């Protein structure tokens, strides 16, 4: 299932320059590239001449040139040049590629995937704590970025990022504490704008894991509980804030649905401690380690897709955030915004 008519974060802004970059969303291939004025274009990656991938093309004179016969497409998708045509031969009217509404904010490129008229589109999510301009930044935080690919549906990946109670089991080797699996009661903080849910978060105090390695040398022995905030910004971004004695970690992660059963998490991990460049590698390594701990579990979940019924599977109190996601999803399905199968042109 894919929820259409929303803004999806599909790539980092800093990965998109003039050279076209392939982005995929539920079976649709798109190219992202930057115009001279720095605006990012999101267009269908399929050339209408013979179907060549425009991701292998180049930008020439502020237009995207196909690598096969050199047809050129302007940012508005209209073909402006067919090199094999003699001078004066008109370009066919339907020589154009689809253009997706596209915005750059919070360090991500957001593409609107759907068929609603612009004035009815839900707004782009606002990622609390991040500055909205190009690079993902927050004052005093140092970011690292990365991709992690899963053989799993994006909603399973997103829900896993919201799931608090798996940490003592799946992450007992890193931040989870297997001796304290109970989750204290927490409240959901749900924000709506124009009747659309724009964020759902919850904060809970978790028992810290016993420190290991290097961290054992600098951590206090009587470690206080760790105030942790988890949440999501529909449709595909999750957020985690961990307040350690040393400082704060913030993980923003976009679960990009490449296909029905493949997802890439585009993550931005920010930290307020050890902010010099030498610690970047360690921050990145720790983030990948967490994803690697999750991977076999998430890829094993059955059914592969989230059930359509909101109350299918069993839910307990500590699943409240995932349940909030399923309620949000159900609202979208009622509107007819759920797509069962991937399609090239259907979004």
Of residues 52 and 333, the one with the C-beta less far from ligand FES:
52
Span of 58-66, 69-77, 291-299, 314-322 interacting with Fe ion by CB under 5 A:
291-299
Q: Which does 49 bind (CB under 5 to 8 A by kind): Fe ion, ligand FES, none?
A: ligand FES
**Is 294 one of the binding residues for Fe ion (CB under 5 A)?**
yes
**Is 159 one of the binding residues for Fe ion (CB under 5 A)?**
no
Tell me the closest approach of the beta carbon of residue 307 to ligand FES, in angstroms.
Answer: 41
CA atoms within 13 Å, Cβ hemisphere of 34? 14
Residue closest to Fe ion, measured at CB: 294
Tell me the closest approach of the beta carbon of residue 17 to ligand FES, in angstroms.
Answer: 22
Of residues 96 and 105, the one with the C-beta less far from ligand FES:
96
Of residues 51 and 173, the one with the C-beta less far from ligand FES:
51
Tell me the closest approach of the beta carbon of residue 292 to Fe ion, in angstroms.
Answer: 10
Size of the site for ligand FES (CB under 6 A): 9
**Is 104 one of the binding residues for Fe ion (CB under 5 A)?**
no
Tell me the closest approach of the beta carbon of residue 58 to ligand FES, in angstroms.
Answer: 12
The CB density around residue 268, as the number of other CB atoms within 10 Å, is 26
Tell me the closest approach of the beta carbon of residue 93 to ligand FES, in angstroms.
Answer: 17
Of residues 50 and 335, the one with the C-beta less far from ligand FES:
50
Tell me the closest approach of the beta carbon of residue 267 to ligand FES, in angstroms.
Answer: 34
Q: Which residues contact 132 (CB under 8 A, 6 or more apart)?
A: 105, 106, 126
Q: Which does 294 bind (CB under 5 to 8 A by kind): Fe ion, ligand FES, none?
A: Fe ion
Window 39-78: contact mask with ligand FES (x via CB under 6 A): --------x-xx-x-------------x-xxxx-------
Q: Which does 207 bind (CB under 5 to 8 A by kind): ligand FES, Fe ion, none?
A: none
Q: Which does 71 bind (CB under 5 to 8 A by kind): ligand FES, Fe ion, none?
A: ligand FES
Print the SS3 string covering the chain: CEECCEEEEEEEHHHCCCCCEEEEECCEEEEEEECCCCCEEEEECECCCCCCEHHHCEEECCEEECCCCCCEECCCCEEEECCCCCCCCCCCCCCECCEECEEEECCEEEEEECCCCHHHCCCCCCCCCCCCCCCCCCCCCEEEEEEEEECCCHHHHHHHHHCCCCHHHHCCCCCCCCCCCCCCCCCEEEEEECCEEEEEEEEEEECCCCCCCHHHHHCCCCCCCEEEEEEEECCCEEEEEEECCCCEEEEEEEEEEEECCEEEEEEEEEECCCCCHHHHHHHHHHHHHHHHHHHHHHHHCCCCCCCCCCCCCCCCHHHHHHHHHHHHHHHHHHCCCEECCCCCCCC
Residues lying near ligand FES in the complex (CB under 6 A) are found at 47, 49-50, 52, 66, 68-71
Residues lying near Fe ion in the complex (CB under 5 A) are found at 294
């Amino acid at each position: 299932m894919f929820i259409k008519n929303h803004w999806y974060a599909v790539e980092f802004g800093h990965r998109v320059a003039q050279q076209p970059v392939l982005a995929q969303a539920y079976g649709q291939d798109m190219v992202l590239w930057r115009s001279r004025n720095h605006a990012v274009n999101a267009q269908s990656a399929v050339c209408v001449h013979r179907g060549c991938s425009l991701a292998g093309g180049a930008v020439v004179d502020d237009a995207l040139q196909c690598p096969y016969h050199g047809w050129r497409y302007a940012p508005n998708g209209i073909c402006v040049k067919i090199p094999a045509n003699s001078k004066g031969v008109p370009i066919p009217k339907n020589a154009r590629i689809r253009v997706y509404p596209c915005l750059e904010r919070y360090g991500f490129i957001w593409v609107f995937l759907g068929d609603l008229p612009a004035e009815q589109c839900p707004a782009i999510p606002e990622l609390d704590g991040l500055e909205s301009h190009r690079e993902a930044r927050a004052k005093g935080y140092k970011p690292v970025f990365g991709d992690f690919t899963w053989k799993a549906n994006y909603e399973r990946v997103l829900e896993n990022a919201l799931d608090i109670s798996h940490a003592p089991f799946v992450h007992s080797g890193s931040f989870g504490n297997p001796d304290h699996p109970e989750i204290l009661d927490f409240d959901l903080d749900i924000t709506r704008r124009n009747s659309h849910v724009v964020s759902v978060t919850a904060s809970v105090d978790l028992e810290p894991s016993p420190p290991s390695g290097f961290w054992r040398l600098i951590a206090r022995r009587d470690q206080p509980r760790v105030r942790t905030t988890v949440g999501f910004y529909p449709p595909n971004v999750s957020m985690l804030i961990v307040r350690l004695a040393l400082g704060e970690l913030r993980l923003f992660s976009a679960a990009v649905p490449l296909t029905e059963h493949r997802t890439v998490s585009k993550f931005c991990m920010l930290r307020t401690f050890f902010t010099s460049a030498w610690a970047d590698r360690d921050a990145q390594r720790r983030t990948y380690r967490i994803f690697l701990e999750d991977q076999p579990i998430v890829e094993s979940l059955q059914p592969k897709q989230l059930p359509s019924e909101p109350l299918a599977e069993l839910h307990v109190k500590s699943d409240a955030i995932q349940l909030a996601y399923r309620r949000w999803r159900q609202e979208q399905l009622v509107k007819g915004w759920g797509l069962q199968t991937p399609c090239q042109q259907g979004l």
